[in-house]
Structure 1
Amino acid sequence: MAQQLTFDLPTKTARGRGDFFISGCNKLAVKMLEDWPNWPNLKLVLVGPKSAGKSHLAHVWANDIEANISQAKHLASADIPNLSQTPTVIENVAEIATDMAAQKSLFHLHNLMQTSGIPLLLTADLPPARWGLSLPDLQSRMSATTITTLPAPDDALLAAVLLKLFNDRQIDVQPKLVSYLVKRMDRSLEFAADLVSNLDNAALSQGCAINQKLAAQVLDNTFENTA
């Protein structure tokens, strides 16, 4: 008989957001954000793959210290002097690699916040050295910024998230089914949400319980739809 995976499920949640689970894969990034008063120059870049939880963690941090949150692509039209007065999160900075107006706005924001000693958190899928920003002064300042990495979710985190997603829909599932899903699913929190939604819809449409046979079918379909 195949041995089922067992999980040491995370029990702690990040401050300010009760559904953010902390596990081995993200605890260092969480600790780094909690220690924001000691960031070098009070700025940090949070780097990680898509759907690893960067935005969620950034929102937890923002909620904790009452920070503003802005997408980098919207900076060209933002009130930079006003934005610079409080802690700020700028998300998806690499997206402005070809947007000179947004880069100039970020450069201005960065300098104002550095002068005032106000913390700045930036997020991206890749480290600053690979952003390819066309404004040299901004690229050099971003490349000199401390980086913390949020890896793809590990098994414990995926299991905890799946269980919460099922619970949110008032669906009881067996631990062995969660083990089955975790071993076969994409390492993505977005995929986990799609998977649970698709399982729920399939069970309702077929009038059956969520079991391994249904899970195998839905996994194949979910992979096809996200390819």
Structure 2
Amino acid sequence: MARQLAFDLPVRPARGRAAFFVAPANDIAVAQIDGWRGWPEGKLALIGPEGSGKTHLAHVWAELSGAAVVYAADLPGADLPALAETGAVAVENAQCIGGNGPAEAALFHLHNLLRAGGGALLITARTPPRDWGLALPDLASRMQATASVHLNPPDDALLAAVLVKLFADRQIAVKPDLIGYLVGRIERSFGAAAETVAAIDREALATGRKPGIPLARTVLDKTGPEGR
């Protein structure tokens, strides 16, 4: 079968609360987001691997609190007093700023502005603050003293829900048998789920085949599935 050109069209993930599946792997984190007004010192670090739902929960929290959402690496160019004036800020991908002097200084300043004004701060990162390689001692101490909650690896139910959502984000309707097939064969991680769905989408676009078990089998044969 002739392969067609496959274009990397933008994926528009659903960010609302209704699109977030609550399971034992993330229920504590969800409870912390819901109870954000009770965070110790008004701040929380949300830790989890890539694709685990940190950004989704950050946007859920933004809806609840009216928070601004900003990437940590963009803080040096941001209007920090204006951000702090919103009363709530979510800083994403904070693990990327270790050793970046201007970004570390900006996060430290934003942290202090929010604390002084009684605001709230949510920080998302793939790893705990102690592993960020922070060079600014005052920032390191404040981040390590921040209460944290972890998003754990998914169980089968959560992995299935994530797969359904990832396909839906790409406007692909799939049958339950495909989801069950994938859950039993891919690595139990959010990253593996995202990579698998993207690979199936690319293969479907390139070959004109409908996403289903036969196509998934072809993709997994190529990528080397992690049998479980």
Pick the TM interval, shorter chain: 0.7 to 0.9
Deviates more, 1:205-214 or 1:38-47: 205-214
Aligned to 1:19: 19
Match of 1:10 in 2: none
Tell me the distance in 2 between the aligned counterparts of 1:102 and 1:205: 41
In the alignment, residue 63 of structure 2 is paired with which amino acid?
N
TM-score by structure 2 length?
0.81
Q: Distance in 2 between matches of 1:203 and 1:103?
A: 43
Residue in structure 1 matched with residue 81 of structure 2 by the alignment: 81
Q: Distance in 2 between matches of 1:85 and 1:207?
A: 51
Please give the residue correspondences for 1:116-155 in structure 2 after superposition, counting only pairs within 5 Å.
Answer: 116-155=117-156
1:29 corresponds in structure 2 to: 29
Contact 1:16 1:64 in 2 (8 A): no
Letter in 2 for 1:75: L
Q: In the alignment, is the contact (CA less than 8 A) between 2:204 and 2:210 conserved in 1?
A: yes
Match of 2:114, SS state, is: helix
Q: Aligned runs of 1:1-227 on 2, under 5 Å?
A: 16-86=16-86, 87-166=88-167, 169=171, 171-173=173-175, 175-203=176-204, 206=207, 210-222=211-223
- Please tell me the residue identity of whatever aligns with 1:171: A
TM-score using structure 1 length: 0.82
Q: CA deviation at 1:216?
A: 2.2
Q: CA RMSD in A?
A: 2.4
Deviation at 1:104, TM superposition (A): 0.9
Matched positions, count: 210
C-alpha contact 1:194 1:222 (8 A) present in aligned 2: no
Deviations for 1:154-191, whole angstroms, at most 9, x for unmatched residues?
21112123234445645342x34322211221334454
1:93-147 deviation line (CA, Å, top 9, x unaligned)? 1211111111111111111111111010001111112222000001001111101
Consecutive unaligned residues of structure 1, counting only runs of 5 or more, are 1-14
Query: Identity percentage over the alignment?
Result: 47
Q: Conserved in 1, the CA contact under 8 Å of 2:16 and 2:56?
A: no
Deviations 1:21-67 (A, max 9, x none): 11111111000111111100000000111111111111111122111
